[in-house]
A and B are shown apart, each in its own frame.
Chain A
Amino acid sequence: MSKLLTVSPSPHIYGKDTTPNLMYGVIIALIPVVLASILYFGWGAVIVISVAVISSVLFEFLIQRFLLQKKTTIQDGSAIITGLLLSLCLPSNFPVWLIIPGSLFAIGVGKLSFGGLGNNPFNPALVGRVFLFISFPAQMTSWPEAQGFQTQYIDATTGATPLNIIKEGLGKGDSISHLMDKIPTYQQLFFGNMGGSIGEVAAVALILGLAYLLLRKIITWHIPVSIILTVVIFTGILWLVNPAQNADPLFHILSGGILLGAIFMATDYVTSPMTGKGMIIYGICIGILTVVIRRFGSYPEGVQFAILIMNGFVPLINYYIKPKRFGEEVKNG
């Protein structure tokens, strides 16, 4: 025998999926959302997105290289996703000097402090967003209007988001039917002509992204479908019981961050449950919490908090919810 043969346990063949492959798949799915945001918000969107992505990757590199002194993992694409998702839930007039600490918090505290990719209990982009939301509420709630490609950045014309209009209106005792005249039409909501964060406005682009994620089998249907259906059913019940005080389900789905959250945030591999059944429970709870916060809480939007709260329950879901084992029920048909 001239040379030795390799001996290893089976299997001897491996699939083509790799971590970077899946991560870049998510980035590809976000392309329509990014393009739509540039179309609606112009230079503001370009600046916010590029600053968030570059600073996230840079912080991941710097912290891993110099602080943790271990192999850097920026090439796996997960820091790019964190940066992208963080920027997509910011307003397009958000100042650069605030984006950078946001990225630092998302990457440093949200992800690397727990041990890096795979170990973080909470979605890093949402951790960053909530940090900014609580620390800089004024800047985080000034929403430029989507008026087609514009060159203004910080000085863009701002207005209230549809959810804000409803929340404040109801607070002042207005009725829904009256308030609905003040918000954009459903067609505008679907295509994104409204105030809001960079990535949440264009429902059509988000749905395109979802189709890509499902086709490439990067995610399964469980989480997005269960969140969206729960919101539709819950808001539907409220709407049927008291249409004067509650907006209809279609409005709830198309406004605010539900689609962005359900498709891209809640489906984050690391922070979502491992089994189909677990994913559905997680999705239903996110849906319920979102509506509860929107309708009964003091914030107009609740998706971010709902997802973060449920992130905390994921280990518990994984512990108690098991897949159906083969042969569990004896069928004699």
Chain B
Amino acid sequence: MRRNQALTTYKKGGIHPAEYKLTDKSPVQILPLPEKVTILLSQHIGVPAIPVVSKGDTVKVGQLIAQGKGFVSANIHSSVSGKVVKIDSLPDLTGYKKSAIVIEVEGDDWEENIIQSTDLLKDITLSKDEILEKIRESGIVGLGGAAFPSHVKLILPRDKKAEALIINGVECEPYLTSDHRLMLEYGEEMMVGIRILMKVLNVRKAMIGIENNKADAIYHLTDIASKFPGIEVYPLKVKYPQGSEKQLIEALTGREVPSRKLPVDVGVIVHNISTAYAVYEAVQKNKPLINRIVTVSGKSLKKPSNFVVRIGTSVRFLIEAAGGLPENTGKVISGGLMMGKALNSLDVPVIKGMSGILVIPEDETKRKPIEPCIRCSKCVTVCPMGLEPYLLMSLTQNGNFYRLEKEMVLDCLECGSCSYICPANRPLLDYIRLGKTDVKKII
């Protein structure tokens, strides 16, 4: 790596929460098979998948069990082998009941066409359309958290052209290290995945953005990137929320994606680093998206770890493997500290977009009492989108939704920097979310 080169970052706003990367030195462990898995049919943005198996069927690892219907949707595959025991509505991460398929595990019997060996398959033999079809069939979604079906992002509107592919290896959330470990342990596979994506998008250049707190990954990838033409690693200054698509594009290219436009409007396409790895597995090894790396972490946890987990494994199983739920736990979060969702139960399944499970002790759980706004303008300073959170909050409180729209409330990323920085403990983001929901009703 070019150690002394000036690190780039995006210009506007941003914060520096404590990093707590407890598991960045822990190699990825393969979690034993659970007794049963609960596979949700809506693990992506878009229409839920439709089951193609029925109760009593025997399924293999990697078998299609639900089909994505409609343009924005994704296939779902069985992550284990065994018997379908239930197709029913079961609580998802938010606690609402959603359709799911429950499979009881029997053995570990994979579909024949999946190549299980760990050999690196470097040669890309398939054509552009064949690759695209394979990615669609394999049910790959964006693994950074948003879970947007990947094949949709790879089909560009006819009048738009991408110049570069941006690979998001930023992982700016505290605690999370799943992408970090992936880069260290499966770097070459990932590079092949990036080459595949470049072929589909017909671009010559790929930029991998990695924050400087992952120096080992930057060195490692820079090293192997020399063997893959067109791929370059860019170290970035540590700043939250750099992992946000728009901010990362600005950090790497200096281009700002305008309000309500897509990255392709400034000539780039962004994919997460673990999505690139999933693409490699799907295209080179015929393996659909049936597992992923999940960081299980927290200061109170006995054995914080990075696990390779089959989709549908219960969160409780993961926490047991990391040393069990500590007595003083107050909150369990799916995702990161800044943007993750708090779970109301441990009996919910791992989904494709889950990058981490965080266990937070009781004394760090409660919010502090809300005090009056002292108009210190820190929320305005940290907002990466150039919005005025204090104003959006009071406009929401007053129900002034027309002005909210004019003040561009819909541009909010919900990164939480405003609530984080507020010295008066004001729930700025809570109100902004409310305001966004109401503005969406009027437009």
Contact = CB atoms under 8 A, between A and B. Distances in A.
A274 B377 contact: yes
Contacts, number: 167
Given A326-B385, A328-B386, A9 B345 contact: no
A318 B358 CA distance: 40
B61 interface: no
B443 interface: no
A333 interface: yes
B438 interface: no
B256 A6 contact: no
A10 B429 contact: yes
Given A6-B331, A17-B423, A333 B254 contact: yes
Given A7-B342, A323-B387, A326-B385, A118 B337 contact: no
A325 B385 contact: yes
Interface of A: 1, 4-15, 17-19, 21-22, 76, 78, 116-119, 220, 269-270, 272-276, 318, 322-333
Contacts of B421: 15, 17
Interface in B295-332: 329-332
Interface of B: 12, 15, 17-18, 95, 174, 246, 250, 254-259, 261, 266, 329-333, 335, 337-346, 358, 360, 364-368, 371-378, 380-381, 383-388, 390-391, 407-408, 411, 414, 416, 419-425, 429-430, 433
Nearest to A13: B337
A7 B343 contact: yes
Contacts of B258: 327-328, 330
A143 to B, nearest CB: 33
A323 B58 CA distance: 59
Contacts of A17: 378, 421, 423
Determine which residue in A8, A13, A272, A328 has the highest number of CB atoms from chain B within 10 A of its CB, and name it: A13
A10 B425 contact: no
Contact of A327 (B256, B381, B414): B256
B331 A8 contact: yes
A325 B17 contact: no
Contact of B373 (A9, A118, A331): A118
Contacts of B430: 9
A22 B421 CA distance: 12
A12 B299 CA distance: 14
Determine which residue in A7, A76, A116 has the highest number of CB atoms from chain B within 10 A of its CB, and name it: A7
B341 A13 contact: no
A14 B337 CA distance: 10
Given A13-B18, A326-B246, A329-B256, A19 B423 contact: yes
Contact of B388 (A6, A11, A323, A329): A323
A327 B246 contact: yes
A1 B332 CA distance: 13
Nearest to A222: B377
A325 B411 contact: yes
Contact of B332 (A5, A76, A118): A5
A119 to B, nearest CB: 7
A326 B423 contact: no
B375 A274 contact: yes
B18 A275 contact: no
A290 to B, nearest CB: 23
Contacts of B371: 19, 76
21 contacts: A1-B345, A1-B346, A4-B344, A5-B342, A5-B346, A6-B342, A7-B344, A10-B340, A11-B420, A12-B331, A12-B342, A17-B378, A118-B375, A269-B375, A269-B377, A274-B377, A274-B380, A323-B380, A326-B384, A328-B386, A331-B256
A330 B256 contact: yes
Contacts of B339: 10-11
Contacts of B342: 5-10, 12
Q: Give me the 7 closest cross-chain CB pairs, A-B, nearest first.
A: A11-B416, A118-B372, A327-B258, A327-B256, A325-B386, A17-B423, A13-B337
